Structure formats: structure tokens, C-alpha cells
Amino acid sequence: MASASDLGIAIVGAGVVARYHAQAIAKARGARLVATCRSDPGKAAAAQAEFGVPCETSYDALLARRDVDAVCLCTPSGLHAAQTLAAARAKKHVLVEKPMALTVEDADAMIAACYEAGVTLGVALQRRTEPAYQAVRGAIAAGGLGRPVAGLALVPYFRAQSYYDSAKWRGTWAEDGGGALMNQGIHIVDLLLWFMGDPDEVQGRAATLSHSIEVEDSLAASLRFKSGALGSVVATTSASPGFAHRVEVYGTRGGVQLEAEAVVRWESEAPPTLSQSVAPGASGAGAGASPTGLAPAGHMRILADFVSAVRDGRPPLVPGEEGRRSVSLVLAIYEAARTGRPTRPR
């Protein structure tokens, strides 16, 4: 049952991902949904009926509400920076969807504004909450895989042309910031960075092979990490009918292969016992085949952590600085693909 002391959260935007946030808020202890925001007045009544709370058509009006303590930004990626800066000025905490920004400069401005305002900034890179990925991260941190030598992020997704045609901002540089890598692949890029550390240099090639869009629908990149380890990133939205993503990490004492959110194979001196492990193929394509193929558990965990972080005055699991890392790497890969020269992430 909601309490007056609960963190009052507003959802900005009303697309597919907003529904994941609404489910997560409903399940989170110490949180309640108090409002939504849609810029189209003609759709406000429908949003109010769907979410069961008032729907503001002005973002400024939403931020002026005294019952709003935090906002979940589920808007087009190109709006995230300006909306975060406005929320910080209004002393509202922010949980922003991926990618947190479309430029490193905007990401830095968001981090600085929230720090100066004394509000929490979290990024919804919710795959970090998955037990299997957390187990891998823990093993690497403890030295269980030895010195890192290689890492792979593979995103063989599919999106029909109708997906890009469903909203004017999709598939554009100005508001989507990129294609298969920036939009779909950034979750898996984030995991690779979480496991392998920061890259020192990247090379890349990008192409638009099967869609009528401004941005890439297929990309391949090679990475050299600061540790000396090597890596690869491959992302596409042209792999019909869509397949589960894969992450692989290898070290001098073992390696792990993951598909979707499950361990396919773990070889090391003391591999953990994971109840979430499944045989290859058992996980299905999930988000690889459809943006609605996400399981809601990840958003529930990232939202619950965000609420707890605000209450406890600690950083969230994925603070702005971590969200910035994946944006920086994606942009460096794009630059390398554009110029044909090796590039260093900023």
C-alpha cells in the first residue's frame, strides 16, 4: 500500500519502455507513481486512463509538482540531456533510459548538474542486475578468470522497417544518436566494459544493409583494452528473425560464455553454481526479436536499486559516470567507422 512518505516518481514519455517503468514502480518498496508527462495533449487522457495518475502535457508543469521527487525519462534519446538538466534545476532525482545522452559533453553536463544539485542520477542499464552477469563480474573482480585476454559482445537482433517508421525520431542521428549499436547494442557494450574495463583504442566498420534509415543497422568493431586485452563488438538489427545476444569473456585462468541472461558455459578453477543457467537456445530471442521481448525483472531491479540509493544517499548501481562509458565507446566506434582510422574513446 502506498504511503505519503514513498518516493513520488513521474514517468516522462509513454512508449513501450514507459510501461516497464510503471510495472517496476508498482513493485518497488517505498515508491509510488504520482504522474506522467506526454507532450501531445491529444494523448494525455489516454495516458491518464492507462497509468491511473494525472498526465501533464508540460514538462515544466510536471517538475513544478510538489509530489514529484524523481523522474524516469523514457523519452527519445535526444531529449535526455535537456530534460535531466531541467530536473536537476528543479531538485528532482533522475533515472534516465539508455543511452543517457548522445554526446560525451551532454553526459558530462548531466553528471555535473545532478552532482551540484545534490540529486541522484541513475541510468537504466538494467542488464547489470541479472544474477548471471553479476556472478561473472564478481568472479573477474576476484581474479577467478585470471588476467583478461579477450571479450566479445554480439547483438544479432532484428527490427522490421515498421519499427523505424513507428516514430519520426527512430533511426535518426539527431534524436536516436545512432542505430544498432547506440540503441540496441549499448546494453551489451555496457556489460563488456563492466567485465573488461576501459578500451584504449577502437576500429570499426558500419553499414546500412536492410533498412531505410539515416543510421547504421549493422556494425563490427575491434577493441584494444587498457589492460592489453582484445575485444570485438558486432551489432545488427538485420538478422531476421532475431537472436539472443551473447557476451563472452576469457582470461588466463578460465572463461565464460553467456547467451541472453544465462550461462552457456563456464570453465574456471571454481565455477559457481547458478540456478539461472540454461542450455544453449533455451532462453529464446527475447529483445533480439522484439522491443517488447524484454523480461520486466531487470527494470524492476534497477528501479528498486534507484529508490534505495535515493533513500540511503548512496550511488545507484549504474550512476551517470558508468552510463557515460558506454556512450563514449559507441561514439568512438562511430568515429572510427566514419574516418577509417583507429580512435580513442574520450
pLDDT tens digits, 122-173: 999 999 999 999 999 999 999 999 999 999 999 999 999 999 999 999 999 9
What are the pLDDT digits (tens) for 255-278? 999 999 999 999 998 777 765 544
Could you tell me if 93 and 216 lie in one domain?
A: no
Question: Whole-number mean pLDDT of the chain?
Answer: 94
Could you tell me if 170 and 269 lie in one domain?
A: yes
Could you tell me if 91 and 155 lie in one domain?
A: no
Whether the per-residue pLDDT at 51 is higher than 80: the answer is yes
Could you tell me if 119 and 149 lie in one domain?
A: no
pLDDT given for residue 279 in this prediction: 46
Could you tell me if 93 and 138 lie in one domain?
A: no
pTM of the model: 0.95
Could you tell me if 85 and 144 lie in one domain?
A: no
Q: Which three cell numbers stand for residue 192?
A: 563488456
Q: Which three cell numbers stand for residue 189?
A: 557494450
Q: Residue 251 falls within a domain, yes or no?
A: yes
Tell me, what CATH number does 68's domain have?
3.40.50.720
What are the pLDDT digits (tens) for 304-324? 999 999 999 999 999 999 999
Q: Residue 345 falls within a domain, yes or no?
A: no
Could you tell me if 84 and 139 lie in one domain?
A: no
Q: Which domain holds residue 197?
A: 128-290+326-339
- SS3 per-residue string spanning the chain: CCCCCCEEEEEECCCHHHHHHHHHHHHCCCEEEEEEECCCHHHHHHHHHHHCCCEECCHHHHHHCCCCCEEEECCCHHHHHHHHHHHHHCCCEEEEECCCCCCHHHHHHHHHHHHHHCCCEEEECHHHHCHHHHHHHHHHHCCCCCCEEEEEEEEECECCHHHHHCCCCCCCCCCCCCCHHHHHHHHHHHHHHHHHCCEEEEEEEEECCCCCCCCCCEEEEEEEECCCCEEEEEEECECCCCCCCEEEEEECCEEEEEECCEEEEEEECCCCCCCCCCCCCCCCCHHHCCHHHCCCHHHHHHHHHHHHHHHHCCCCCCEHHHHHHHHHHHHHHHHHHHHCCCECCC
- For the residues 248-258, what does the mean pLDDT come to? 97
Could you tell me if 137 and 196 lie in one domain?
A: yes
Whether the per-residue pLDDT at 333 is higher than 70: the answer is yes
pLDDT given for residue 14 in this prediction: 80
CB 149 within 8 A of CB 251: yes
Burial class of residue 257 in the structure, from the number of CB atoms within 10 Å of its CB (0-12 exposed, 13-18 middle, 19+ buried) = middle
Whether the per-residue pLDDT at 81 is higher than 60: the answer is yes
pLDDT given for residue 4 in this prediction: 61
Whether the per-residue pLDDT at 281 is higher than 60: the answer is no
Whether the per-residue pLDDT at 3 is higher than 80: the answer is no
Whether the per-residue pLDDT at 1 is higher than 50: the answer is no
pLDDT given for residue 290 in this prediction: 87
Could you tell me if 100 and 55 lie in one domain?
A: yes
